Amino acid sequence: MSWLSNIPPGIKNIFKPKDDNSDTLWTKCPGCGEMIFQRDLDAAHQVCPSCDHHLAIGPGERLALIFDNGDYQDIELPDPVTDPLKFRDEKRYTDRLKENRRKTGQHDAMRAAYGTIDGVGVVAAVQNFRFMGGSMGMALGEAMLKAAETAVEKRAPLVVFAASGGARMQEGILSLMQMPRTTIAVQMVKEAGLPYIVVLTNPTTGGVTASYAMLGDVNLAEPGALIGFAGPRVIEQTIREKLPDGFQRAEFLLEKGMVDMVVGRSQLKSTLSKLIRVLMKERRQAPVSLPAATPAPKAEPAAIPAQKKPAAKKTDDAPKLDKAAE
């Protein structure tokens, strides 16, 4: 190890190469590799102007993007017991939390807010992937419950933006318990007759996909988002087979029927607005029968003959049995 590595960080900062500043001025697009002027990227809400790659977006920017005039009120979230297991890996869990709180300015991985989308009151909860990989611990469970309770109280739809690596291992079984808890939170919103919409963003994996992230009345996804339970590398190693192109990406899941729509960030607010208006109207009035004109999904024609075959066999069998009985 050279003596250079022992220099205190304060002194290092003074002699930081000027190149470090370029990070804030230019960003390299992970999709096409092009250098994008940061101001252009900000104006496009972190979407690459050349290849439409959707880069990560912070919760504040996300909320400002969907709510009218960028106005919203943060919902105060409960603060559960910190580090009940006194967990320690390379670092103490409490130190990890402190570090992430400083880095993100958030208390934990989820932020919830109330605002309006085209005049309709909406509760939105956003997961911040920068906070310990958006991991789901007790604080997140509490945040989801609080968001759901607020939605019910205000008779407002709940929109969740999921981004997570899954359960927070530092909380062991307590983090896994958040799967049923968040599911109950979602159920509460549904039982109140209010819409629950999920927007799956890059990446949504693990216990989050296995609970509230897949329970939306409508599940939207951002283009190119990785969505799955186990990651592609783990699956490939387990089944020892090459996975198809685009596996677990939003577009692949749309094709397979796991996701309802893939919506670009520029269209997100208008799409949410339309969905909320349709769903809220439907629930306030008497049950509306769906028009027959709704296009049937592609998979259906194939499914119908397959179902008919066994049914036909049964009817063939039935008279024979009758005859035998006679």
Sites of contact with Zn ion (CB under 5 A): 29, 31-32, 48, 50-51, 53
Q: CA distances (Å), 181 to each of 9, 46, 176, 299, in order?
A: 43, 33, 9, 34
Contact 27, 41 (CB under 8 A): yes
Please state the closest distance from residue 30 (CB atom) to Zn ion, in A.
8
What 46-49 contacts at long range (C-beta under 8 Å, 24+ apart), as own/partner pairs, is 46/265, 47/264, 47/265, 47/266
Q: Which CB atom, from 33 or from 257, has the smaller least distance to Zn ion?
A: 33
For residue 235, what are its two tokens? 């699956």
Q: Which CB atom, from 48 or from 263, has the smaller least distance to Zn ion?
A: 48
Contact 229, 203 (CB under 8 A): no
Contact 85, 172 (CB under 8 A): yes
Q: Which CB atom, from 31 or from 232, has the smaller least distance to Zn ion?
A: 31
Longest dimension (CA), the chain: 100
Please state the closest distance from residue 262 (CB atom) to Zn ion, in A.
17
Please state the closest distance from residue 48 (CB atom) to Zn ion, in A.
3
d(CA 211, CA 63): 23
Please state the closest distance from residue 65 (CB atom) to Zn ion, in A.
19
Contact 140, 178 (CB under 8 A): yes
Please state the closest distance from residue 43 (CB atom) to Zn ion, in A.
15
Please state the closest distance from residue 196 (CB atom) to Zn ion, in A.
33
Burial 258-267 (b: 16+ CB within 10 A, else e): bbbebbebee
Q: Which CB atom, from 48 or from 122, has the smaller least distance to Zn ion?
A: 48
CA 275 to chain centre: 17
Q: Which CB atom, from 35 or from 85, has the smaller least distance to Zn ion?
A: 35
Q: Which CB atom, from 126 or from 250, has the smaller least distance to Zn ion?
A: 250
Please state the closest distance from residue 31 (CB atom) to Zn ion, in A.
4
CA 234 to chain centre: 21
Please state the closest distance from residue 131 (CB atom) to Zn ion, in A.
26
Cβ-count burial of 108 within 10 angstroms (0-12 exposed, 13-18 middle, 19+ buried)? Answer: buried
Closest by Cα among 132, 164, 154, 141 to 73 = 154
Please state the closest distance from residue 42 (CB atom) to Zn ion, in A.
15
Neighbours of 249 (CB within 10 A): 21
Q: Which CB atom, from 29 or from 214, has the smaller least distance to Zn ion?
A: 29
Contact 124, 159 (CB under 8 A): yes
Q: Which CB atom, from 28 or from 308, has the smaller least distance to Zn ion?
A: 28
Q: Which CB atom, from 27 or from 273, has the smaller least distance to Zn ion?
A: 27
